[in-house]
Amino acid sequence: MTSQRLFLTSPYLILVIISFLALASLVFYLFQVEKLTKGSYLVKIYQNELKTLQEETLVLEKNETELFSLENIEDKINQLSFVNVSEVKYISISYDYLVRGSGQ
């Protein structure tokens, strides 16, 4: 038992503990660096996606403005052969032919 006590109090034990702590710190550091690198990479990817989506949004807004311009609407009306309404006629229907809702 004296050899065990000698080992527990010897400088070798201190060296082993310090080596273990240094190795554990190194492993922890490597995992943290890997996690930080991965996060940085994802941020870069998301920034590129955001930039692409912003550019697409600008293009779509421009297209929307062009599509809903008065000139294009008038051209579409002419293509569909719409005519101007000069007089509106209403049809009178008796209440006997109308359907009533269940709540009334």
pLDDT tens, residue by residue, 40-68: 999 999 999 999 999 999 999 998 888 88
Residue 64, in any domain of the structure: yes
pTM exceeding the 0.85 threshold for the entire prediction: no
The more confident residue out of 66 and 31 is 31
The domain of 53 spans 2-83
Give the pLDDT of residue 47: 97
Residue 27, in any domain of the structure: yes
| Number of domains, the chain | 1
Q: What mean pLDDT do residues 16-35 have?
A: 95
Alpha helix locations (H) across the chain?
A: 2-9, 11-67, 70-79
Residue 16, in any domain of the structure: yes
Residue 91, in any domain of the structure: no
Residue 93, helix vs strand vs coil:
coil
Residue 104, in any domain of the structure: no
Residue 26's closest CA among 18, 36, 16?
18
